[in-house]
Structures are given as structure tokens and as C-alpha cells.
């Protein structure tokens, strides 16, 4: 039986997840995290897309992407295979790094788009790895709070949903101090 085709169209937004095979770690240290982000940047040069949020956990990862001209399967095939080759070579391992097919949930509403971003940024807090999402170094959350340029992340679409000051209101939303943008005072 063949797999169900994933919905795709130019401009589609997705919450993408990948888990380590048998829920094993896919990031052993900072070098692995950094390598993944570098490979992600390289993949984006071949298959352009917007990255709105990410979080690299120990045994899984989350990406919030918006496609431009390519189906996410092209990007994810290159990303997962390149990272698996890197990971296996560096750690003297063989076999699958990722557990099955990547997950890709299409995001069809503005409210859900924001909710996915919050969920991704709160992942390390929910896993009791840090107290505040800003304290976790391997997510895009700091890109939303800082005015510094972050070449991987596109913050404008999410921040535009919040009134001035955009960054502070987004922080309040993520950290549970404010409701969705239409409720922010």
C-alpha cells in the first residue's frame, strides 16, 4: 500500500518534526546542533523556504517552515540524509538516525501558525530542560527577542501579528503572560 500524498502548494506552511530512531538522541553535543543548522542553511540554498521557528531537542526536532517553490519532501530528504551521514560518520555509527518518515502537519490558519511557533519555543520548558524558553540555546526564540539579524530565521510574519512593541508582545504570548494577538492590550 502506498503512502498518502502530503498536501503541498507554493506558500504552504508546515510544522515538521523528526524523531531519533527508537527515540535515541540525534544530537549528542553542541557540535551536532551546530552541524544540523549549517546543513539546514545549505539545504535552503538548494530548496529555498522560510524558516519561522525551530527547536533542536535531544532526540527530536521541530521546524516551522513556509515553502516557496519546492515540496518539503525534497528539502527533508536532503536535510535528513545529509545530517544522518554527518552524525554516523562523526560518532562512528551505522544505520538509521531518524525514525521513519518525518512528520509534516500543514498549518492553515493564522491562529494555528502562532500556536505552532509558541509550542516549538516552549518545547524545552515543557521537557524541564530550562525554566524560560530564552535560556535554551538551540531554538529560534532568541531571534524573536533580539534585534540582531539571524540569517536562518524569518521573524517578520509572526511579529507582524503583534502590536507594538512586537517583540515584547510576542514574548508575553509565548511565556503565557498574554493571549493571542487580538487579545493583547
Which CATH number belongs to the domain containing residue 111 in this structure?
Answer: 3.30.70.1290
Q: Is the pLDDT confidence value at 46 over 90?
A: yes
* H or E stretch covering 55: strand 49-56
The owner of cell 524523531 is 19
As a whole number, mean pLDDT of residues 57-74 equals 97
Domain holding 169, by residue range, is 13-177
Domain count, the chain: 1
Q: Is residue 3 part of a domain?
A: no
Q: Is residue 182 part of a domain?
A: no
d(CA 86, CA 76): 15
pLDDT of residue 4: 72
Which triple of cell numbers denotes residue 134?
530564552
From residue 107, alpha-carbon distances to 14, 102, 104, 115, 164 in Å are 5, 16, 9, 10, 25
Measured in degrees and rounded to the nearest 5, phi and psi for residue 63 equal -130, 135
Q: Is residue 164 part of a domain?
A: yes
Q: Is the pLDDT confidence value at 57 over 70?
A: yes
Q: Is residue 107 part of a domain?
A: yes
As a whole number, mean pLDDT of residues 52-72 equals 97
Per-residue pLDDT reduced to its tens digit, 137-148: 999 999 999 988
Q: Is residue 66 part of a domain?
A: yes
The rounded mean pLDDT for the chain is: 94
The rounded percent of the chain whose pLDDT value lies above 70 is: 96
Q: Is residue 48 part of a domain?
A: yes
Q: Are 39 and 99 in contact (CB under 8 A)?
A: no
Full-prediction pTM beyond 0.75? yes
As a whole number, mean pLDDT of residues 97-118 equals 96
Amino acid at each position: 500500500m502506498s503512502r498518502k500524498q502530503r498536501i503541498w502548494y507554493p506558500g504552504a506552511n508546515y510544522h515538521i518534526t523528526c524523531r531519533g530512531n527508537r527515540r535515541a538522541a540525534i544530537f549528542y553535543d553542541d557540535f551536532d546542533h551546530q552541524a544540523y543548522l549549517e546543513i539546514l542553511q545549505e539545504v535552503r540554498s538548494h530548496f529555498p523556504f522560510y524558516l519561522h521557528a525551530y527547536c533542536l531537542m535531544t532526540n527530536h526536532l521541530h521546524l516551522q517552515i513556509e515553502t516557496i517553490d519546492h515540496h518539503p519532501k525534497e528539502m527533508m530528504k536532503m536535510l535528513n540524509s545529509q545530517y544522518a551521514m554527518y552524525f554516523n560518520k562523526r560518532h562512528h555509527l551505522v544505520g538509521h538516525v531518524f525514525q521513519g518518515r518525518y512528520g509534516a502537519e500543514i498549518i492553515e490558519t493564522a491562529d494555528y501558525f502562532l500556536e505552532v511557533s509558541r509550542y516549538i519555543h516552549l518545547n524545552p520548558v515543557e521537557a524541564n530542560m530550562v525554566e524560560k524558553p530564552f535560556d535554551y540555546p538551540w531554538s529560534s526564540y532568541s531571534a524573536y527577542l533580539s534585534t540582531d539579524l539571524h540569517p536562518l530565521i524569518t521573524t517578520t510574519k509572526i511579529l507582524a501579528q503583534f502590536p507594538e512593541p512586537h517583540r515584547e508582545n510576542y514574548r508575553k504570548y509565548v511565556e503565557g503572560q498574554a493571549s493571542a494577538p487580538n487579545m493583547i492590550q
